Structure 1
Amino acid sequence: MKIRISVILSMILALVLTTDISADVDDYENRYVEMTLSRYDDAVITIGVIDGSDRSYYVYTEDGTEENDEVYQYEIGSITKTFNGILTARAIEEDKLSLDDTIDDILDFDRNRNFPTVEELLTHTSGYASIYYSEESNDRNNPFAGISKTEVLRQAEEFVSRRDTYQYSNFGAAVLGLVLEEVEDEPYDAMIEGLFDEFDMSNSIVYSETEILEIEENWEWNEGDAYIPVGSIISDVEDMMNYLQVNIDSELDGVERSHMMLESLDRNPQRIRDLEIRLDGIGYHWRIDEEN
């Protein structure tokens, strides 16, 4: 079975609004797709293109390129977090939550400490590390699997550090998932499935065991894992183009707000600039490029 490299970022970046779509796709292929294919044997990369009302997608393999070929399913990784951003924006618009709320305002903590705010969870400035391992984490394939919500709550109350710089935190995203469950009184997967219905993403799921999708390389999750909000969505190019369109239109509740810049950043190493991507700021888990 071919390895499906999850390059959903490619789908996001392939929103091409110029007059020469084919040239932009060819340029992207030359600069990034070929590099990725050369690094991974049997890789399959899918890139979706939206040009006004026209849509197309391209499947890249070591054997060449096919337009509108087979639809593959991918783990979309941390793009999952942008769905959490929309859920958070909606909760704020409905006065269920505030960016300034500290997590102990919402979660049942006994300690009186300087806990991070909702905004700091969204912008990765909470001071939390990327992950705090525990004895519950015993899956070599997926380091986030098996860690319970009870354990993450314990760690969130125990580990508090200085919050003065950007530090990407999967743990913070997991805590935000618990915050959303608390304020909405609904399981995380049910909230995401509600977005799938609303966004016309019928081929997407929150998480799955391997045998359900028959993708050998996907991460396996346990029901109730605390890190599911970090990156457990599985989708395909057609659904992701629907998601792109939702964000382009920005008409549905919470979507436009989720694009607002909350924190200015200047983190643009050469390897990122080579792909003509910038990280100038961060919003509701969206990374914001102000130039490209």
Structure 2
Amino acid sequence: MFEISDETVRLINKTCKGKKNLKLTVGYLTNSQCVIKVYNESGEIDSSKKYHYEIGSITKTFTVSLLSKYISENKLTPNDSIQKYIKELKKDTYYPTLLRLATHSSGYSGSLPLYKREYFKIILGLIFGGSDLNKNNPLHMDFNKMKMLIESNKLKEVDYSWKYSNFGISLIGYVLGMVSPKGYWTL
């Protein structure tokens, strides 16, 4: 079985040392077997525990790679609307395609799932000590909030100019979880 080299482990430990709350997950495939190692500031930790990561940001590479894989396997097509996979959305309404989400040309704001006023309130709360993101994280998303955000952002069937959107990538992650029999978090 393949193991991470001592030099790589040394570099990982050096990178993680002294960084509280950091969890670095390293995954690799060898002979069709997936191996996952998780590190924190003290070194390797239990990789059998479940750790959740926000869909977006660091997971974009994984998410879009998986999207490409599913497209090549004909499990979905880039021009599919998200409505094809999120059946609970209102009918007779335009929703962006996977391609527009992946290329950040869907029209979704870069600030979603929050609006600028909400970001401002969070920042003020953190500055003045009136907010605890560990207890009330407004970025946590459930299905109903996701559906409400999709339906309340009325988009047109046009190519919008490029606008970075974690929300758009999270929708791709949701669709991939719907297509996979395992769901996104177990992929």
Query: What is the TM-score with the length of structure 1 in the denominator?
Result: 0.37
> Could you tell me whether the CA contact under 8 Å between 1:44 and 1:60 is conserved in 2?
yes
Partner in structure 2 of residue 163 of structure 1? 160
Amino acid at match of 1:127: G
Amino acid at match of 2:8: D
Does 1:39 find its partner at 2:22?
A: no
Q: Say how many residue pairs are matched.
A: 159
Counterparts of 1:26 and 1:101 in 2: how far apart (Å)?
44
Q: Deviations over 1:43-96 (max 9, x none)?
A: 554534444367655453444457xx6622211432484597279638x936xx
Distance 1:161 1:89, change over 3 A: closer
Identity %, equivalent residues? 18
Does 1:195 find its partner at 2:181?
A: yes
1:73 counterpart SS class: coil
Does 1:74 find its partner at 2:74?
A: no
Partner in structure 2 of residue 218 of structure 1? none
Counterparts of 1:46 and 1:102 in 2: how far apart (Å)?
32
Amino acid at match of 2:165: S
Cα distance, 1:22 vs. partner? 4.2
Counterparts of 1:151 and 1:21 in 2: how far apart (Å)?
43
Counterparts of 1:65 and 1:161 in 2: how far apart (Å)?
47
Cα distance, 1:116 vs. partner? 4.6
Amino acid at match of 1:170: N
2:39 counterpart SS class: strand
Over the aligned positions, Cα root-mean-square deviation in angstroms equals 5.0
> Could you tell me whether the CA contact under 8 Å between 1:102 and 1:116 is conserved in 2?
yes
Does 1:140 find its partner at 2:166?
A: no
- Which consecutive residues of structure 1, in runs of 5 or more, have no partner in the other structure? 1-19, 181-187, 197-205, 207-232, 236-242, 244-292
2:17 counterpart SS class: helix
> Could you tell me whether the CA contact under 8 Å between 1:124 and 1:172 is conserved in 2?
yes
Partner in structure 1 of residue 104 of structure 2? 124
> Could you tell me whether the CA contact under 8 Å between 1:99 and 1:118 is conserved in 2?
yes
Q: Deviations over 1:76-132 (max 9, x none)?
A: 432484597279638x936xx653456799963458xxx754311123232322314
Distance 1:56 1:116, change over 3 A: closer
Q: Deviations over 1:229-277 (max 9, x none)?
A: xxxx545xxxxxxx5xxxxxxxxxxxxxxxxxxxxxxxxxxxxxxxxxx
Cα distance, 1:143 vs. partner? 1.4
